[in-house]
Amino acid sequence: DKESILWVLQERGLSRDQVEEEVEKRLTKPWGRPYVFWKAARWFTIINTLVVSYFNLIGLFRLLNSDHIYKVPLVLLVIASILAGFFIGFKLTTHVYHGSKEFLYCGFPLAVGFVDLKTGEEIPTDKPIMNLRMAVNALAGVSLTLFPLTFIYFCIS
């Protein structure tokens, strides 16, 4: 297996010494593998989404029940932000990244499907779980686009 990888890299123009140097560099570097960082980013995004969603719900509830002079423009901006957030959430759902040692993940922060790196086989999740994960990914987009407007409302009220 190692020789076949070496052969492919040599076919792409790398010498054996360059390949061994890169392998040594990767083994001795103090930083973790990319999938470790992606896992941390996924959890950070999920926790951030939950906190920001709570803040947004409180702010929107206060906005809808107020008689503030800027209520109508802010509600229109909220609707526009929600639409933009769903677009961002769709983009997050189609994002492909190296999520673990053996798999590519499709969907951020929650994976809606996987690709096995050894076989190249697609592994979709069950439909109900996929729909739920897509909704959470969309919520992440909505939360992060809605947050500035909710924050502005808190500041002016």
Q: What is the pLDDT along the chain (157 residues), one digit of tens a residue?
A: 577 777 777 888 888 888 888 878 877 777 777 888 888 888 998 898 888 888 888 888 888 898 888 888 888 888 888 888 888 888 888 888 888 888 899 999 999 999 988 888 999 999 999 999 998 888 888 888 888 877 887 787 7
Q: Same structural domain for residues 120 and 55?
A: yes
For residue 38, with 0-12 CB atoms within 10 Å meaning exposed, 13-18 middle and 19 or more buried, which class applies? middle
Q: Same structural domain for residues 20 and 93?
A: no
User: Given this model, what pLDDT does residue 112 score?
Assistant: 92
Q: Is the pTM of this model over 0.85?
A: no
User: Given this model, what pLDDT does residue 113 score?
Assistant: 92
Q: Same structural domain for residues 6 and 72?
A: no
Enter the DSSP assignment of 125.
P
User: Given this model, what pLDDT does residue 123 score?
Assistant: 93
Q: Dihedral (C-alpha) 15, 16, 20, 22: value to the nearest 10 degrees?
A: 20
User: Given this model, what pLDDT does residue 153 score?
Assistant: 78
Q: Same structural domain for residues 93 and 19?
A: no
Q: Same structural domain for residues 109 and 146?
A: yes
User: Given this model, what pLDDT does residue 1 score?
Assistant: 59
Residue for token pair 């890169």: 22
How many domains in the chain?
2
User: Given this model, what pLDDT does residue 130 score?
Assistant: 92
**What is d(CA 61, CA 69) in angstroms, rounded to the nearest whole number?**
16
Domain assignment of residue 19, given as a range: 1-30
User: Given this model, what pLDDT does residue 20 score?
Assistant: 84
Q: Same structural domain for residues 47 and 14?
A: no
Q: Same structural domain for residues 20 and 79?
A: no
Q: Same structural domain for residues 58 and 74?
A: yes
Q: Same structural domain for residues 48 and 76?
A: yes
User: Given this model, what pLDDT does residue 11 score?
Assistant: 81
Q: Residue 11: which H helix or E strand, with range?
A: helix 2-11
Q: Same structural domain for residues 40 and 21?
A: no
Q: Same structural domain for residues 5 and 54?
A: no
Q: Same structural domain for residues 59 and 90?
A: yes
User: Given this model, what pLDDT does residue 122 score?
Assistant: 92
